[in-house]
Amino acid sequence: MTDSKAVRGPRERSGSEKRTSLPVFYRQVVAELRKVVWPTQEQLVTYFIVVLVFVVIMMTIVSLLDLGLGKLAFEVFSGRNTE
């Protein structure tokens, strides 16, 4: 018998714990979704524009870095002779 805490036997359920039935689970999901505060159309459009601008800025930064580092790599590793 090992003393390791990482090795455990099968989980034992106490007598009072039962699995939730599918209809009960569905009702609970619907009840939780009713608590969600959904964004208005105006908020959704604002969030979409903010995310779109952020993605375009990040694409520009990554593209410029790729272009610059690519040119630098060609300069460093090009086989030009300087005789």
At 17-62, the pLDDT tens digits run 788 899 999 999 999 999 999 999 999 999 999 999 999 999 999 9
Confidence of residue 1 (pLDDT cuts 50, 70, 90): low
| pLDDT at position 62 | 98
Rounded distance, CA 24 to CA 31, Å? 10
Contact (CB, 8 A) for 62 and 54: no
| pLDDT at position 15 | 56
| pLDDT at position 8 | 57
Contact (CB, 8 A) for 28 and 20: yes
